[in-house]
Amino acid sequence: MKEHMRGPVVGLLWWILAVASLHFSFCNGNSNVSCIAKERQALLRFKDDLTDPSSWLSSWSSNEDCCSWDGVVCGNFSGHVRELHLQVAKGVFSYSVPKLGGKLNPSLLNLKHLNYLNLSYNDFGRIKIPNFIGSLRIIPQTLGNLTSLHYLDLQHCYGDLSFENFQWISGLLLLQHINLSCVNLGQSSNWLQMTSMLPSLVELHLHSCQLDLSFSLLGLNFTSLAVLDLSENYFNPLMPNWLFGLTGLDSLVLPNCDFSGPIPNGLQNMTSLRDLDLSGNHSNSTIPIWLYNFKGLKSLNLRGNHLQGPITGDIGNMTSIIHSDLSDNEIEGRIPRSMGTLCNAKVVDLSNNKFGDISDVFRSLTRCISDSLETLSLIGCQLMVLSMIISSNLKICRYYIFQLIRLLVHFHGQ
Ligand SMILES: *[C@@H]1O[C@H](CO)[C@@H](O)[C@H](O)[C@H]1NC(C)=O
Ligand SMILES: *[C@@H]1O[C@H](CO)[C@@H](O)[C@H](O)[C@H]1NC(C)=O
Ligand SMILES: *[C@@H]1O[C@H](CO)[C@@H](O)[C@H](O)[C@H]1NC(C)=O
Ligand SMILES: *[C@@H]1O[C@H](CO)[C@@H](O)[C@H](O)[C@H]1NC(C)=O
Ligand SMILES: *[C@@H]1O[C@H](CO)[C@@H](O)[C@H](O)[C@H]1NC(C)=O
Ligand SMILES: *[C@@H]1O[C@H](CO)[C@@H](O)[C@H](O)[C@H]1NC(C)=O
Ligand SMILES: *[C@@H]1O[C@H](CO)[C@@H](O)[C@H](O)[C@H]1NC(C)=O
Ligand SMILES: *[C@@H]1O[C@H](CO)[C@@H](O)[C@H](O)[C@H]1NC(C)=O
Ligand SMILES: *[C@@H]1O[C@H](CO)[C@@H](O)[C@H](O)[C@H]1NC(C)=O
Ligand SMILES: CC(=O)N[C@H]1CO[C@H](CO)[C@@H](O)[C@@H]1O
């Protein structure tokens, strides 16, 4: 099912759960060291500039140990404020739930030991960044001086937040994890140069940031990047060369990026990938042979392209694969017997392709793959024997169904 079709139902469910769980959405301080007076003052000034219609910050009062306030986590021994968990409880998407809003007071800069700040799903975003704190020049400095920040999460999927200049981020040398998903970066020309210079950056999540990714750039300096999520942005229509140099990645997540043409050979040096998601695009080549040689790949998602041609026997080389989704393509030919050597595979989805006769699949169901496989989906394939879905909640039946299939195949072969 497409993400957007699920939205309203899931959204409602989250909302109901969230209303019940609002009071538990903050993580309590764990310390009984009393907090640093200067930091308490800074938090109070920070609070003064926020709007808090639901009184989530009612525990933030002048006569208490700030380490015990909702959402504040201090160092166990030092008493310094280390984390601020000010996100709305996961999934409270509805505008009808009053959230934090207002301005981010620069007093935050007095929290010298802050290394985690989560403001997700709050309501700062109806106002554009310039008003968010005063002016575009100030916001970068405000965030940019938080030099011990490890974790920056401003994901903002239900509002309208934008950054134009990324210069400020270059001072955050300890940042390991950035999530600016759904923040509008469409006007930001230097996001890639700036993030690529962060020496500790491990994860970069820029889902749906209205980025046009089709520019050319060489010599990126990412040193420790492992996870790159650029889902739902635009390649126009080819994958850009700067991606191909990122050969140290573990995880490359590019679904719904609107690229077309073949899966580019430029990706073939990314042999350390464990997770590759190119689903929901217009790729119309055969599956390139080098991909079968990605021995560490655990999850491969090529769903919803126009991939053609046969799957070759080399697929048996992807021995680490756990989750493989090749559904909704135009793959033809026979299903190779070597699939039977994918002994870690839990999910194999081949549905809605153009295989001639997939009774071949039964020859591949060796004991080894049958033992690990939880879901095998062949829906919509032209199957002479039967169409089936064997799902994990049918585990008890699974053995019998595999036996039945073996018998059928045996019978068929006589
Ligand atoms: C700190 O809190 C713990 C448990 O919350 C308690 O056992 C300990 O006695 C407290 N220490 C002080 C100095 O209050
Ligand atoms: C602080 O104490 C808590 C509970 O005792 C513990 O779970 C946590 O790991 C400690 N944090 C550090 C940084 O030592
Ligand atoms: C920030 O909070 C949101 C909402 O609860 C959560 O989904 C997200 O994982 C948090 N981010 C980090 C980095 O912990
Ligand atoms: C933020 O950093 C800039 C440049 O490093 C410095 O000039 C400025 O004084 C800092 N601001 C605060 C409030 O510390
Ligand atoms: C980043 O933000 C996206 C979009 O809101 C969210 O789905 C995802 O879970 C976040 N990822 C992490 C690792 O926090
Ligand atoms: C990578 O670093 C070098 C040296 O610091 C710099 O000259 C170059 O411009 C950087 N590359 C990019 C794409 O920013
Ligand atoms: C793939 O699509 C491109 C244009 O989108 C077209 O030029 C090319 O011929 C197609 N290739 C195949 C094998 O269909
Ligand atoms: C892949 O690696 C080979 C050998 O190091 C190199 O010659 C080739 O240019 C690389 N390809 C890409 C697209 O980076
Ligand atoms: C798959 O493994 C076989 C046997 O080791 C080897 O001959 C073949 O070249 C490999 N295929 C690919 C695409 O690397
Ligand atoms: C075949 C297919 O699913 N194509 C998708 C490629 O990505 C664009 C943009 O997200 C989608 O609109 C297409 O449906």
Tokens for 247? 């050969």
- Is 115 within 8 Å of 84 (Cβ atoms)? no
Q: What is the mean pLDDT of residues 71-80?
A: 88
% of the chain at pLDDT higher than 70: 71
Of the CA atoms within 13 Å of residue 43, those in its CB half-sphere come to 33
φ, ψ for residue 277 (rounded to 5)?
-125, 105
Tokens for 131? 């008003």
Going by alpha carbons, the residue nearest to atom 11 of ligand 4 is 145
76 lines ligand 2 (CB under 6 A): yes
Q: Which atom of ligand 9 is nearest to the CA of 293?
A: 14
CATH number for the domain whose boundaries are 33-139: 3.80.10.10
Instruction: Give the pLDDT of residue 328.
Output: 95
- Is 387 within 8 Å of 359 (Cβ atoms)? no
304 lines ligand 10 (CB under 6 A): yes
What letter would DSSP give residue 101? E
286 lines ligand 7 (CB under 6 A): no
Distance CA 116, CA 119 (A): 10
What is the torsional sign of CA 299, 301, 307, 309? positive
Q: Where are the domains of the chain?
A: 33-139, 147-251, 260-414
Cα 275 to ligand 3 centre (Å): 21
Instruction: Give the pLDDT of residue 120.
Output: 66
Q: Which atom of ligand 4 is nearest to the CA of 106?
A: 13
Distance CA 246, CA 276 (A): 13
Q: Return the closest-CA partner of residue 54 out of 89, 90, 82.
A: 89
Cα 355 to ligand 9 centre (Å): 23
φ, ψ for residue 406 (rounded to 5)?
-60, -45
- DSSP for 157-196 reads TTS--B-S--GGGGG-TT--EEE-TT-B-TT-SSHHHHHH
Going by alpha carbons, the residue nearest to atom 3 of ligand 2 is 30
Q: Do domains 33-139 and 260-414 have the same CATH topology?
A: yes
221 lines ligand 6 (CB under 6 A): yes
Going by alpha carbons, the residue nearest to atom 12 of ligand 5 is 179
- Is 238 within 8 Å of 215 (Cβ atoms)? no
30 lines ligand 2 (CB under 6 A): yes
pLDDT at residue 293 above 80?
yes
293 lines ligand 2 (CB under 6 A): no
Tokens for 298? 């655990």
Going by alpha carbons, the residue nearest to atom 4 of ligand 6 is 221
255 lines ligand 10 (CB under 6 A): no
Q: What is the mean pLDDT of residues 34-62?
A: 88
Which among 282, 284, 285 is the best mutation to test ligand 10's pocket, defined by most ligand atoms within 8 Å of the CB?
282
Collapsing DSSP states into helix, strand and coil, what is residue 102? Answer: strand
- pLDDT, tens digit (0-9, with 9 covering 90-100), for 345-359: 999 999 899 887 777
Q: List the beta strands (DSSP E) in 24-86.
A: 50-51, 72-74, 81-85
Distance CA 273, CA 296 (A): 7
Q: Which ligand has its closest atom nearest to the C-alpha of 318? A: 9
> Does domain 260-414 fall into CATH 3.30.1280.10?
no
Which pTM does this prediction carry? Answer: 0.72
Collapsing DSSP states into helix, strand and coil, what is residue 63? Answer: coil
CA–CA distance from 190 to each of 169, 222, 282, 338 (Å)? 11, 14, 28, 46
- Is 123 within 8 Å of 158 (Cβ atoms)? no
Tokens for 309? 């041609």
Instruction: Give the pLDDT of residue 257.
Output: 92
pLDDT at residue 133 above 70?
no
Cα 180 to ligand 3 centre (Å): 11
Q: Which ligand has its closest atom nearest to the C-alpha of 76? A: 2
Going by alpha carbons, the residue nearest to atom 4 of ligand 5 is 181
What is the torsional sign of CA 18, 22, 26, 28? negative
Instruction: Give the pLDDT of residue 345.
Output: 94
Which among 6, 154, 179 is the best mutation to test ligand 5's pocket, defined by most ligand atoms within 8 Å of the CB?
179
pLDDT at residue 389 above 60?
no
Name which residue leads in pLDDT, 10 or 36.
36
Name the CA radius of gyration of the chain, rounded.
25
Instruction: Give the pLDDT of residue 145.
Output: 55
- Is 14 within 8 Å of 37 (Cβ atoms)? no
Q: Which ligand has its closest atom nearest to the C-alpha of 319? A: 9
Q: What is the mean pLDDT of residues 95-101?
A: 67
Band (pLDDT 50/70/90 cuts) for residue 34 is confident
Q: Which ligand has its closest atom nearest to the C-alpha of 245? A: 8
Instruction: Give the pLDDT of residue 204.
Output: 97
